[in-house]
Amino acid sequence: MKLSVLDQSPSSEGDTQDVAIRRSLALAQACDAIGYHRYWLSEHHNSASIVGTAPEILMAAIAATTRRIRIGSAGVMLPHYSSLKVAEQFRVLEALAPGRVDLGLGRAPGSDRLTARALNPYSNAAEDFPRQVVELMHWVEGRALPDEHPFAAIGAYPQGPTSPEVWILGSSNYGAQLAAHLGLPYAYAYFFTDGAGTEEALAIYRRYYRPSERYPAPVATICVWALAAESDERAWHLFKTREAWRVGFERGLRPPLVSPEAAAAAARDYDDADRARIDALRRRAFVGTADAVVAKLRALAVELALDEIVVNTWTYDHEARRRSYELLFAANASA
């Protein structure tokens, strides 16, 4: 089983948010050295806890400072943008890191409706997503659009011998259906739904997959939230940060991550609904020693017929996050 990374550039209380971006760069360099397969970056807006707003810019920095790891977006929220401009950005990235670039595309806004409108007041948003993806595929792969297309005379530059891998991302059956129809790889946001809908989405993707020249067979992965430490006690202590964030999220809040100690103090004021939510989160969590977490991840990969899992990890302390990825990779390699 291959392991990859999803980094959302989480911001911690007590730090300025620019620190989170530099920590993402440092973590990418560490994961490149460790041996991870991919390093994907998310796009979110108007959030003080997840401050990765421009994956294409951070990807360029990572491309220039890593050696072998694949670098990707997970994803570019395409309804906010021009397909041509995204294709140009990723053609430049491909020139910087030939054969290492993934272009993951999402349909969701990555924020609230007002922020989505501010990003692109003139967009037809999700309704145009399939058309945008088809245009983008042609431009980013250097293929001509059909003669009757209004933009048939336009190309995306710079061209080169390789092109980014285009992925469809999602947390519902819609993305699975679109990826299957276009013959593209598909990544399901398991962590976003706590696993709900995963089996159905992957089954739809595989059942209706239409082979393409580049991808004659379906290619699928999932993204799972996981955290490892040297002991179960240490891992669950670190997990308190995520528990506090989840309670805030359900209340419509997006604050920076708090320390485990601050999270434990706040938990004394939780109501019954908060405690029930945390109990459910813990039951489904991939948290513990690296061997235990990897055993659960590998079992899930077998159950879902996957040969790769993407891991998303948040901790208040950057070193604990880096250490979690280090421990997980070593445990998987020796499993």
The per-residue pLDDT for range 202-254, each reduced to its tens digit, is 999 999 999 999 999 999 999 999 999 999 999 999 999 999 999 999 888 88
> Which band of pLDDT confidence, cut at 50, 70 and 90, is reported for residue 118?
confident
Q: What is the pLDDT of residues 157-194, one digit of tens each?
A: 999 999 999 999 999 999 999 999 999 999 999 999 99
CA distance 144 to 153: 8
**Chain center to CA of 119:** 20
pLDDT at 53 over 80: yes
DSSP letter, residue 153: T
DSSP letter, residue 111: S
DSSP letter, residue 304: T
Compute the half-sphere exposure of residue 327: CA atoms within 13 Å on the CB side of its CA.
Answer: 24
DSSP letter, residue 159: -
On whether the CB atoms of residues 43 and 73 are closer than 8 A, the answer is yes
> Which band of pLDDT confidence, cut at 50, 70 and 90, is reported for residue 115?
confident
CATH code of the domain made up of 2-232+288-334: 3.20.20.30
> Which band of pLDDT confidence, cut at 50, 70 and 90, is reported for residue 33?
very high
CA distance 180 to 29: 33
Give the start-to-end residue ranges of the domains of the chain.
2-232+288-334
Give the chain's radius of gyration (CA, Å).
Answer: 20
